[in-house]
């Protein structure tokens, strides 16, 4: 039995924050932090969520303001002693290997939000707290790449329906990442049985149990008000190999041609859970998503139901896809638990 698992952030070590664009259906405000898996081992199979970090670009930064003109911390000195403004740091004169491109290095210039970067860690625009991969696609002086360092490659399975778990791993955590568990397997053990999906997209199509416990007022890390996990392709070693993800620092993959939607089966543990599902992110950079589908928000029941995420009309994706699927939950009261199941996430032609 193929079994995949995820875990909470292993420490409270500092990582860059950024504000990201909205998951349209939620309209939430959020700041996101990169996070690492407990195991720190590279994902070995599709759907593995052993490495995690925040932000698919799916949560709202609108109205999120941090003090403008704040100086990044730990070795990111701006040139000529000037203080960066409006979330943009100077590109020259920075120290400690954290050269900032406009809007990067932990100082994202979206909706006026800024934040300081940690020593030696650089967030590319849209990468939301991720560091550059340790090999192959790292720009000079330890900075994240400013252009996509390669081209997307076609997946081996060239027929629809196409199982997202084939080539995308559940590594893109955001929001209250320490409060998320995201565990799946191909035989339905995690879910107490598979959904009625017939035929299944592939032998690698997994059933996932997701649990999100909203932090209370006494939690060590205050709640952001939401949680999300994205399935990402071509995940890279981050944090010196302590976790893995890809928010656009490496090219994605090219799924089989002709898909017009993504679909999945889902149910809630008690019913009434409101969950948003999406494909792609406008915040992925510098390698981008060809498909950025409008999120759909569903109220789950305790019975398996099929849900679809329509793709934009006429969209093609020969340039590749980094984010193959994502779920998000927001607005749940503190000290409550939201638990639900998803199965057989696939791209198909209707």
Short-list 348, 17, 344, 337, CA closest to 174? 17
| Six token digits for residue 294 | 């409008």
pTM of the model: 0.67
pLDDT of 28 reads 36
Short-list 349, 325, 340, CA closest to 165? 325
Domain ranges of the chain: 33-59+152-348
pLDDT of 86 reads 40
Short-list 117, 113, 29, CA closest to 72? 117
* Contact (CB, 8 A) for 250 and 273: no
Give the whole-angstrom CA distance, residue 61 versus residue 50.
27
pLDDT tens digits, one per residue of 49-75: 433 343 333 433 333 333 333 433 444
* Contact (CB, 8 A) for 33 and 177: yes
Strand-pair category, 293-299 with 3-4: unpaired
Q: Which segments of the chain have a pLDDT < 70? A: 1-143
pLDDT tens digits, one per residue of 266-286: 999 999 999 999 999 999 999
pLDDT of 36 reads 37
pLDDT of 228 reads 97
Give the whole-angstrom CA distance, residue 276 versus residue 106.
27
pLDDT of 278 reads 98
Q: Which CATH architecture is the domain 33-59+152-348 placed in?
A: Sandwich (2.60)
């Amino acid at each position: 039995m193929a079994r995949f698992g995820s875990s909470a952030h292993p420490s409270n070590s500092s990582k860059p924050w950024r504000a990201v664009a909205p998951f349209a259906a939620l309209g939430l405000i959020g700041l996101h932090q990169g996070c690492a898996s407990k195991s720190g081992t590279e994902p070995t199979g599709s759907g593995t969520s052993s490495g995690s970090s925040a932000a698919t670009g799916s949560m709202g930064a609108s109205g999120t303001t941090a003090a403008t003109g704040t100086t990044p911390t730990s070795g990111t000195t701006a040139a000529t002693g000037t203080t960066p403004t409006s979330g943009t740091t100077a590109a020259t004169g920075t120290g400690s290997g954290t050269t900032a491109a406009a809007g990067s290095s932990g100082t994202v210039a979206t909706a006026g939000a800024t934040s300081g970067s940690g020593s030696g860690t650089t967030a590319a625009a849209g990468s939301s707290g991720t560091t550059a991969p340790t090999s192959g696609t790292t720009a000079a002086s330890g900075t994240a790449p400013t252009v996509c360092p390669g081209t997307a490659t076609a997946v081996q399975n060239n027929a629809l329906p196409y199982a997202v778990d084939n080539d995308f791993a559940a590594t893109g955590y955001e929001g209250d990442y320490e409060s998320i568990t995201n565990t799946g397997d191909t035989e339905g053990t995690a879910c107490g049985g598979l959904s009625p999906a017939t035929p299944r997209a592939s032998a690698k199509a997994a059933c996932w149990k997701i649990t999100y416990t909203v932090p209370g007022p006494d939690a060590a890390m205050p709640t952001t008000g939401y949680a999300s996990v994205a399935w990402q392709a071509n995940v890279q070693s981050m944090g010196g190999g302590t976790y893995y993800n890809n928010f656009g620092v490496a090219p994605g993959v090219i799924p089989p041609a002709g898909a017009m939607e993504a679909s999945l089966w889902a149910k809630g543990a008690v019913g009434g859970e409101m969950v948003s599902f999406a494909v792609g992110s406008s915040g992925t950079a510098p390698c981008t998503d060809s498909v950025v589908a409008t999120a759909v928000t569903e109220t789950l029941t305790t019975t398996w139901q099929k849900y679809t995420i329509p793709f934009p009309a006429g969209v093609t994706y020969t340039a590749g896809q980094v984010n193959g699927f994502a779920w998000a939950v927001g607005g749940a009261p503190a000290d409550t638990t939201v638990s639900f199941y998803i199965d057989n996430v696939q791209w198909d032609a209707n």
